[in-house]
Amino acid sequence: MTDPKDILRTYWGFEHFRESQLEIIDSVLKDQNTLALLPTGGGKSICFQIPGLILDGVTLVVTPLIALMVDQVNELKNKNIKAVAIHGGLSPREIDILLDNCIYGGIKFLYVSPERLTTELFLARVEKMVISLFVIDEAHCISQWGHDFRPYYLKIKDFIVLFPIAKLIALTASATEVVKKDIINQLEMVDPKVFQNSYVRSNLSFVVFKGENKLQKVFEILNKVAGSSIIYVRSRKRAEQVARDLNQKGISARFYHAGLSYNERNQRQAEWTQSKLRVMVATNAFGMGINKPDVRTVLHLDLPQTLEAYYQEAGRAGRDGMKAYAVLFFSKQDIIQTEKRIFQASVDIKFIKRVYQAISNRYKLAIGSGAGLSFDFAYFDFIDDFELPSHPTIVALRKLQNAGLIQLTENIYQKSKISMLMQREILYQFQLTHASLNPLIKVLFRLYGGELYTSYMMIDEEDIARILKINLKKLKEQLHFLHDYQVIDYRKTNFKPQIEFIKGRLDLGSLPIQSVDLKKMNKQVVDKFGHVVRYVNTDYACRTRMLLDYFGEHMNFGCGICDFCLTKIKNNDGVKSF
């Protein structure tokens, strides 16, 4: 199919595109450098996935969000579209096979982190690929003025010089005017076609409440406004406590955070998505990639550190176009505590080196070794073993990640998978000498065929045990035996955080992190939180106008539905320009 509308209908089941989507797709197909700034829920992924299906070759997607790339790949696979993601947690052999399949196996979408673009293995394989479209998602990360600056995004232009690709699109949900210009300059986009949908959400009422008794106000709001809700909090402990308090008040609620198992996360998300559960109390681990249209309220009980993060999370309310509320609660103490956290996050180069030394020692890496290797990473065990302070260590790990030395992957579910290692001739002899394992080997080939030699195939151990009429424990013992004898590579279901070493271990004097850059980034964090403080402390301007001004969009009148505008209406002052 070459008609975008036919593809939209066939794969996504929609009859019509959202605002700007078709124009963006047309721009990409006409080889125009394209920058798309679409607010949260605007359907960014379709803008490159549909061109990717039309074009011959592989669409290369760069994104820093590992969880989101895995979600998108799974969604594409569910539509019978060949897509893969390369991230920490995959073995070097898996990565090798996936890249081979991008060259020879008809893969349509390849998702990678920006750090991956610089590795020797990846660069060598890209030379053999037909890259039809280059996608830079979360493009604000390329700007030092953006809220999630990733230095390795700056190296994307080097990749473009090495591998000129006719079709390029950069996308982001939120960017100020300065960031937008920086994206264009850093990517050296010549005469780009820029699409920017308005940040105005005419159905979304932005409200700020100042005071200490937040939960009482939450109960009042939920009793007045029916429908689904998300309540964002900063910590896991608080998520659990607020969920308990809501249930005691007769409001059905569950908590959601990164400490839950894969099955617990899935179950709770499904209950909430299907409206069997009214309120999800969550850390920011919840919401990414979820498009529930009928969320009536998004409540923040803790201050966000940037307006970009707040706008993105608040924007999950009212996607069906019906009236919805985004409510931010704060007290003077909240500001003091957040400023204190920001100060504590200002780690110096000496502490970053200490953390890097600790992770290198933990995995017994010699200088120059470890590039491309992934390991399970139990954070709390790590800080206990090396007597490291919790919050500064998190910050230091992020700095090391931003410098392209490591990649952290938090609790991504990876189903059990196998790949065949032993060649057929030798395998036949093995089957003769290990007759008890012959039924299992035959079943594996019957279920997955020759692809066992060219891919890692997802397996369901319970299904295989049922077919063989043996118990699950016995089956796993047999799989482990085949793995130990290097007949197969068996990688069990995993839902643990991972740490991947992007580069081989460096000596401490060679770390590509400078004190001057740390000071600059720390100042930027302080400045961005200053905008949040001004937003919550201002009671003389339209909330929507304040947010629009921040993102470089201007409106000469009030929105008519935020707390400030409603107060003016109540006082019969109107909502004209002010």
**Whether this model's pTM surpasses 0.85:** no
Q: Is the pLDDT of residue 573 over 60?
A: no
Q: What pLDDT score does 462 carry?
A: 92
Q: Are residues 222 and 175 in the same domain?
A: no
578 pLDDT band, cuts 50/70/90, is very low
> For 512, phi and psi rounded to 5 degrees?
-80, 50
Are the C-beta atoms of 488 and 482 separated by less than 8 Å? yes
288 pLDDT band, cuts 50/70/90, is low
DSSP letters for 292-343: -TTEEEEEESS--S-HHHHHHHHTTS-TTSS-EEEEEEE-HHHHHHHHHHHH
Q: Are residues 371 and 504 in the same domain?
A: yes
Q: Is the pLDDT of residue 540 over 70?
A: yes
Q: Is the pLDDT of residue 108 over 90?
A: yes
Q: Are residues 406 and 421 in the same domain?
A: no
The residue with tokens 């010089």 is 161
- Overall average pLDDT of the 445-462 stretch: 91
Residue 102 covered by a domain:
yes
| Residue 5, both tokens | 């509308």
Are the C-beta atoms of 424 and 400 separated by less than 8 Å? no
Q: Which of 306, 330, 354 is the last residue of a domain?
A: 330
Q: What is the mean pLDDT of the chain?
A: 90
The CATH number of whichever domain residue 12 belongs to comes to: 3.40.50.300
Q: Are residues 44 and 176 in the same domain?
A: yes
Q: Is the pLDDT of residue 517 over 90?
A: no
- Domain residues for 476? 417-491
Q: Is the pLDDT of residue 123 over 70?
A: yes
| Residue 295, both tokens | 């969320």
Share of the chain above pLDDT 90, in %: 62
Residue 305 covered by a domain:
yes
Q: What pLDDT score does 577 carry?
A: 35
Q: Is the pLDDT of residue 14 over 50?
A: yes
Residue 546 covered by a domain:
no
d(CA 321, CA 203): 6
Tell me if residue 23 falls in helix, strand or coil.
helix
Q: What pLDDT score does 495 carry?
A: 66
Q: What pLDDT score does 576 carry?
A: 45
- Overall average pLDDT of the 2-16 stretch: 94
Task: Give the residue with greater pLDDT, 496 vs 390.
Answer: 390
Q: Is the pLDDT of residue 61 over 50?
A: yes
Tell me if residue 576 falls in helix, strand or coil.
coil
Cα dihedral across residues 257, 260, 262, 266: positive or negative: negative
How many separate domains does the chain show? 4
* Max CA distance (Å), the chain: 90
- Overall average pLDDT of the 306-321 stretch: 91
Q: Are residues 400 and 316 in the same domain?
A: no
Tell me if residue 50 falls in helix, strand or coil.
helix
